[in-house]
Copies of this chain bind each other. A is one copy, B any other.
Amino acid sequence: MAHHEVKLDVYNYLFSPNLKPCVTVNIGDTVTLHTDDAFESRITSEDTSPKAAVRNAKFLNPQAGPVYINGAEPGDTLVVHFESIEFTRDWAVSCIMEYFGGLQSNSITKTLQKPLDEKVYMWKTKDNGKTWRCEKIGVTIPANAFCGTMATAPDTESIQALTPGPFGGNMDCPDVCPGNKIYLPVHNPGALFYVGDCHAAQGQGELCGVALEVSAKITVSFDVIKNKAIKWPRIESKERIMSVGSAKPMEDAARIAYADLIEWMVRDYGYDSYDAYQLLTQVGGLYVANMVDTTYSLCASIDKKYLERT
């Protein structure tokens, strides 16, 4: 069981089957990946203009990886044991950007209106990341650290790192957090695992489109479930199993998430599909992870205690 530590000189901006692995690991090894924030640390103060800061950035949302996991083959499922997040600085940044976010028109939901004004919010921690304070607003909030982005490489496509999808990606789902297992489909030898976009905190929906963006060290280890394919990302916490659907319109993300959870209950827990459909109607959870990215991500879940029937 080796430990690997990876700090890239140049990040990647695509989820792609064609990028060269930055490290090769065995099942059970731990890997610590250094990640930068979604702006690659270009926004450093409340005086920064986000538009100006990213003008010369061809890409946003830098990704560490790909990690090549020995033994992972197409048709398997990759299990990511998310061990820990360690923030590597004492500030996080959020901002209102032009033509971006849940309550603003954008290049797709297009209007002729002027954009919102830009505004940067700096959040600082004095307790090693346990709580974060925004002086401008006058609030202190607890950390809720997770990775906005986690993916395996798609089958053949190379997709920009701002996109969520069947491969995982930019789901901005707070349950992609330390302590949980994340299941991702394997489409390529070695799975080709990507991670980035650490958030010190984020609410459901990531309303303005920018969480508490922070640089961090992410530690994970991997398992592989052989010859068992999944179609969409799944998450398991101590108490719940969850499926994440990403699509537009948002109701399609909801349909995907719940339908995948039914499939999980049928295949792994012996449920009849109608019974699973019925039970999720009465005890299922369904929250919005992101309402701001290129597709919306919804997380459907059920408490594990209902998976045993009596």
Chain A interface (Cβ < 8 Å from any Cβ of B): 13-14, 16, 18, 58-59, 94, 96, 101-105, 107-117, 119, 121, 123, 134, 136-141, 156-160, 201-212, 231, 247-252, 254-256, 258-259, 262, 273-275, 277-288, 291, 296, 298, 300, 306, 309-310
Contacts and interface: CB of A to CB of B under 8 A. Distances in A.
Closest CB pairs A-B (n = 9): A138-B309, A249-B249, A203-B284, A250-B250, A158-B158, A204-B286, A207-B281, A248-B248, A205-B286
A235 to B, nearest CB: 16
Given A158-B158, A284-B205, A277 B103 contact: yes
30 contacts: A13-B156, A16-B158, A59-B156, A103-B110, A104-B113, A107-B231, A108-B252, A110-B252, A111-B111, A113-B114, A119-B278, A137-B275, A139-B309, A139-B310, A157-B159, A157-B160, A158-B158, A203-B282, A203-B284, A204-B286, A205-B281, A207-B277, A211-B282, A247-B248, A248-B249, A251-B291, A255-B291, A286-B288, A286-B291, A287-B287
B251 A249 contact: yes
A254 to B, nearest CB: 5
A259 B212 CA distance: 21
B208 A277 contact: yes
Given A94-B282, A249-B250, A291-B251, A113 B116 contact: yes
B111 A105 contact: yes
A31 to B, nearest CB: 26
